[in-house]
């Protein structure tokens, strides 16, 4: 067991990175670190250099000021470092802020630092924080490593063992991690009982949020919205609750209320780029083009310093301008995008597909035709690597140019792959509606839906009668036609797992199941389902290893 008593932390071998824009402050922090016996210090004056430094070497401690003047702020540095995996599990990231109680507002959607430290601070204060974090990191290291490696059953085992040690100081945090692991492996009963236990002692927002999340994942959107709304009522600054409230409303088809929740959250904390993206897409859907324009603009601006920068935000903004017949603004937005994404075929395709439409709008057939040809070339080049939203732009361009054959071919594939995603099918209908082909949509969608239902019924029926091979073959054939369809992927994985459990370990089947799970995760199957399937596989391979 790890001892919690204050240990004497030896900082000599530790590598420190100071991120601070003011030379005086950098010097002050450096001097302070010297008094703590720190020997390896790298200093940088801005976020960009911080990322470069972290790419070059692995730091044990990062002291990063939130306010870095021009360029990336501290939160953006943290997000990028985590996203690019520049920080090992054991590293301590300390966000240095000017004011207390900023954590909520700064806490963007997923990245949180290990510690906030308010300045000015002295050596003793820093040393104590480092020691505390070090003890905590060491205590949770095996769990974190197992999670990082995607081995949930091992993480749960470590967690359960530690819970039995009855370490008062770590107990609550262990419960939190255990509940999250339960959620991520679809064990909602376990998660729920932990959250209830915590809430019995104290009304803590993360536990309440967890209950809402469980309701959400079980598609009980009414209970979920109720929980999230209550949290917001009592904690109006809790941004996570707004994000989940929006998700729950969106899932139940109430796009307007979802939009309102995100709109409010972006006003409280205008820095979180992912939230702006989400809001932009929603407002576009509900036809609130002014809100969409503003949100896309924010996403584009924040993108300059963010790892979440994407060409899709530029084309999204251009589409809004095109919808409001502001062709000049649409074209100049696309021009800006090209400047920022040189030699990026996806960005070029986004631009070309939209230019086809916009030039046609303003009656410049020649430029429209030219853009269309560029788009076709790029489609060829990109092949299957085109995101769904961009495929829709391409389809639209084909239709506008009267090339129904190409449009239908892509559309048919797109619908087949996503037939079980109600919201996406809704987007397809809206797109077809915008070019006056609503009926075409229904004619395309209905038979595919029917076919999927039939395949599913047939496969499930065979499975129930124990004919695993035949069931598998049905889904395999279906996967040929709709390779990205999630329902089919999940069914195949379920059959493989059942087969493995029943007829014993088989390396080939295991590998196949693992590959399918990876694919399902890539195409957006919910994390709890993925986690649950992974865990079942891990248990089997663990049993097998112990036999050897």
Q: Is residue 3 at the binding interface for other proteins, with CB under 8 A as the rule? A: no
Instruction: Write the CB contacts of 422 (distance below 8 Å, at least 6 apart in sequence).
Output: none
Q: Is residue 122 at the binding interface for other proteins, with CB under 8 A as the rule? A: yes
Q: Is residue 8 at the binding interface for other proteins, with CB under 8 A as the rule? A: no
Q: Is residue 28 at the binding interface for other proteins, with CB under 8 A as the rule? A: yes
Token representation of residue 113: 């630092």
Q: What's the closest the beta carbon of residue 233 comes to other proteins, in angstroms?
A: 12
Q: Is residue 229 at the binding interface for other proteins, with CB under 8 A as the rule? A: no
Sole window of 196-204, 278-286, 414-422, 425-433 interacting with other proteins (rule: CB under 8 A): 196-204
Q: Is residue 406 at the binding interface for other proteins, with CB under 8 A as the rule? A: no
Q: Is residue 203 at the binding interface for other proteins, with CB under 8 A as the rule? A: yes
Q: Is residue 132 at the binding interface for other proteins, with CB under 8 A as the rule? A: yes
Q: Is residue 196 at the binding interface for other proteins, with CB under 8 A as the rule? A: no
Q: What's the closest the beta carbon of residue 238 comes to other proteins, in angstroms?
A: 7
**CB of 171 or CB of 465, closer to other proteins:** 171
Question: Which residues, 252 to 281, sit near other proteins by CB under 8 A?
Answer: 268
Q: Using CB atoms within 10 A of its CB, is residue 544 exposed (0-12), middle (13-18) or buried (19+)? A: middle
Beta-carbon count within 10 A of 136 CB = 18
Q: Residues 2, 9, 15, 25: which binds other proteins (CB under 8 A)?
A: 25
Q: Residues 202, 339, 502, 508: which binds other proteins (CB under 8 A)?
A: 202
**CB of 73 or CB of 356, closer to other proteins:** 73
Q: What's the closest the beta carbon of residue 173 comes to other proteins, in angstroms?
A: 9
Distance CA 331, CA 351 (A): 9
Give the total of residues touching other proteins (CB under 8 A). Answer: 37
Report the interhelical angle of 188-201 vs 168-184 (nearest 10°).
Answer: 150
Q: Is residue 7 at the binding interface for other proteins, with CB under 8 A as the rule? A: no
Any idea what DSSP says for residue 46?
Answer: S
Distance CA 52, CA 287 (A): 41
The residue count of the chain comes to 548
What's the Rg (C-alpha) of the chain? 26
**CB of 133 or CB of 491, closer to other proteins:** 133
For 194, phi then psi, to 5°, come to: -65, -50
Q: Is residue 67 at the binding interface for other proteins, with CB under 8 A as the rule? A: yes
Q: What's the closest the beta carbon of residue 27 comes to other proteins, in angstroms?
A: 8
Q: What's the closest the beta carbon of residue 52 comes to other proteins, in angstroms?
A: 24
Q: What's CA 292's distance to the chain center, in Å?
A: 21
Q: What's the closest the beta carbon of residue 139 comes to other proteins, in angstroms?
A: 14
Q: What's the closest the beta carbon of residue 120 comes to other proteins, in angstroms?
A: 4
Q: What's CA 311's distance to the chain center, in Å?
A: 17
Closest CA to 242 of 272, 285, 220: 272
Q: Residues 101, 193, 301, 332: which binds other proteins (CB under 8 A)?
A: 101
Q: Dihedral of CA 257/259/260/264: which sign? A: positive
Sole window of 157-165, 182-190, 198-206, 509-517 interacting with other proteins (rule: CB under 8 A): 198-206
Cα end-to-end span (Å), the chain: 29
Any idea what DSSP says for residue 16?
Answer: E
What does 191-247 look like in DSSP terms, one character per residue?
Answer: HHHHHHHHHHH---HHHHHHHHHHHHHTT-HHHHHHHHHHHHHH-TT-HHHHHHHHH
Sole window of 45-53, 94-102, 213-221, 370-378 interacting with other proteins (rule: CB under 8 A): 94-102
**CB of 24 or CB of 343, closer to other proteins:** 24
* Element spanning 180, H or E: helix 168-184
Closest CA to 521 of 537, 510, 512, 533: 533
Closest CA to 314 of 273, 352, 351, 266: 351
Q: What's the closest the beta carbon of residue 226 comes to other proteins, in angstroms?
A: 20
Distance CA 58, CA 39 (A): 15
Q: Residues 27, 84, 304, 381: which binds other proteins (CB under 8 A)?
A: 27
Q: Residues 40, 82, 119, 323: which binds other proteins (CB under 8 A)?
A: 119
**CB of 26 or CB of 401, closer to other proteins:** 26
Q: Residues 100, 164, 507, 546: which binds other proteins (CB under 8 A)?
A: 100
Q: What's the closest the beta carbon of residue 211 comes to other proteins, in angstroms?
A: 17
Q: Is residue 112 at the binding interface for other proteins, with CB under 8 A as the rule? A: no
Instruction: Write the CB contacts of 548 (distance below 8 Å, at least 6 apart in sequence).
Output: none
Distance CA 487, CA 472 (A): 13
Q: Is residue 190 at the binding interface for other proteins, with CB under 8 A as the rule? A: no
Sole window of 188-196, 201-209, 221-229, 397-405 interacting with other proteins (rule: CB under 8 A): 201-209
Distance CA 185, CA 182 (A): 5
Q: Is residue 45 at the binding interface for other proteins, with CB under 8 A as the rule? A: no
Distance CA 517, CA 471 (A): 18
Sole window of 229-237, 430-438, 451-459, 505-513 interacting with other proteins (rule: CB under 8 A): 229-237
**CB of 65 or CB of 528, closer to other proteins:** 65
Q: Residues 172, 297, 329, 542: which binds other proteins (CB under 8 A)?
A: 172
What does 113-136 look like in DSSP terms, one character per residue?
Answer: -SEEEESS--HHHHHHHHHHHHHH
**CB of 25 or CB of 481, closer to other proteins:** 25
- Contact between 404 and 426 under an 8 Å Cβ cutoff? The reply is no
Residues at the contact surface with other proteins, assessed by CB under 8 A: 22, 24-25, 27-28, 31-32, 67, 98-101, 103-104, 116, 118-122, 124-125, 127-128, 132, 168-169, 172, 202-205, 235-238, 268
């Amino acid at each position: 067991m790890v001892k919690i008593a204050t240990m004497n932390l030896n900082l000599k071998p530790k590598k420190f990175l100071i991120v601070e824009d003011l030379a005086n402050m950098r010097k002050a922090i450096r001097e302070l670190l010297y008094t703590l016996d720190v020997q390896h210090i790298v200093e940088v004056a801005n976020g960009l250099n911080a990322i470069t430094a972290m790419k070059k070497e692995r730091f044990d401690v990062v002291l990063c000021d939130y306010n870095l003047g021009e360029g990336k702020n501290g939160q953006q540095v943290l997000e990028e470092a985590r996203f690019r995996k520049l920080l090992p599990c054991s590293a301590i990231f300390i966000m240095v802020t000017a004011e207390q109680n900023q954590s909520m507002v700064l806490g963007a959607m997923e990245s949180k630092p290990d510690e906030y430290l308010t300045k000015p601070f002295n050596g003793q204060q820093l040393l104590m924080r480092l020691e505390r974090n070090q003890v905590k990191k060491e205590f949770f290291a095996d769990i974190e490593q197992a999670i990082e490696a995607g081995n949930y059953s091992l993480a749960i085992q470590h967690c359960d063992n530690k819970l039995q040690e009855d370490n008062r100081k770590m107990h609550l945090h262990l419960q939190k991690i255990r509940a999250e692991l339960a959620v991520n492996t679809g064990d909602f009963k376990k998660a729920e009982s932990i959250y209830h236990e915590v809430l019995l002692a104290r009304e803590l927002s993360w536990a309440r949020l967890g209950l809402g999340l469980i309701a959400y994942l079980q598609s009980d959107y009414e209970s979920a919205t109720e929980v999230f709304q209550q949290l917001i009522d009592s904690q109006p600054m809790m941004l996570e609750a707004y994000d989940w409230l929006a998700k729950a409303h969106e899932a139940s088809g109430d796009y307007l209320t979802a939009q309102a929740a995100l709109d409010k959250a972006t006003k409280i904390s205008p820095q979180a780029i992912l939230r702006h993206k989400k809001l932009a897409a929603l407002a576009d859907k509900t036809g609130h083009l002014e809100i969409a324009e503003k949100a896309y603009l924010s996403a584009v601006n924040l993108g300059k310093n963010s790892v979440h920068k994407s060409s899709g935000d530029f084309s999204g903004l251009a589409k809004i301008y095109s919808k409001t017949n502001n062709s000049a603004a649409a074209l100049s937005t696309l021009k800006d995008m090209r400047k920022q994404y040189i030699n990026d075929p996806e960005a070029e395709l986004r631009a070309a597909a939209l230019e086809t439409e916009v030039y046609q709008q303003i009656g410049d057939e020649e430029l429209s035709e030219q853009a269309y040809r560029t788009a076709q070339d790029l489609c060829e080049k990109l092949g299957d690597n085109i995101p769904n939203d961009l495929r829709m732009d391409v389809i639209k361009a084909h239709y506008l140019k009267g090339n129904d054959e190409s449009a239908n071919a892509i559309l048919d594939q797109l619908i087949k792959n996503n037939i079980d995603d109600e919201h996406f099918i809704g987007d397809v209908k809206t797109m077809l509606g915008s070019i006056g082909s609503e009926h075409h949509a229904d004619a395309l969608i209905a038979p595919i839906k029917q076919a999927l239902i039939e395949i599913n019924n047939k496969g499930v029926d065979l499975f129930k009668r124990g004919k695993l091979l035949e069931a598998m073959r049905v889904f395999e054939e279906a996967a040929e036609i709709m390779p990205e369809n999630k329902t089919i992927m999940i069914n195949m994985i379920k059959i493989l797992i059942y087969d493995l459990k029943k007829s014993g370990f088989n390396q080939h089947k295991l590998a196949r199941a693992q590959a399918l799970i990876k694919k399902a995760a890539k195409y957006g199957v919910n994390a709890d389902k993925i986690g649950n399937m992974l865990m079942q596989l891990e248990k089997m391979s663990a049993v097998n290893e112990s036999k050897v």
